[in-house]
Amino acid sequence: MFLKRLGPDPHANGQQTVAARGCPDILELESGDFAVIGIDITDKSQGKFPPTVGCGPDERVVWIPRKTLVHARPDIPSAV
């Protein structure tokens, strides 16, 4: 299911993370799609989305620190 982590290990060099159990993380799936592990902010975000943005009952909104995505950038493919 999970192919690899994108970006560095969030605990590299003894770093602490903002959440329990080693998140946040961005993972590449065997299908080529991606999964994100972060702090669930779905309840806090309801009613605050920009126009045309929504979160279905089978979806969650997760927060990840900016540095997690920025550090993962080199591992994210640039083409479909």
**pLDDT tens-digit map of 12-61:** 766 666 666 667 889 999 999 999 999 999 999 999 999 999 999 999 99
Indicate if the pLDDT at residue 73 is higher than 90.
yes
pTM recorded for the entire structure: 0.78
**Cα–Cα distance measured from residue 45 to residue 55, given in angstroms and rounded to the nearest whole number:** 9
Q: CB under 8 Å to 23, separation ≥6 — which residues?
A: 10, 17, 37, 38, 39
Residue 77: per-residue pLDDT: 86
Residue 20: per-residue pLDDT: 60
pLDDT band at 78 (very low <50, low <70, confident <90, very high): confident
Residue (of 22, 20, 25) closest to 8 by Cα position: 25
Are the beta carbons of 22 and 10 closer than 8 angstroms? yes
Extended strands (E) in the chain: 2-6, 25-29, 34-37, 39-40, 62-63
Residue 36: per-residue pLDDT: 94
| H or E, element range at 67 | helix 66-72
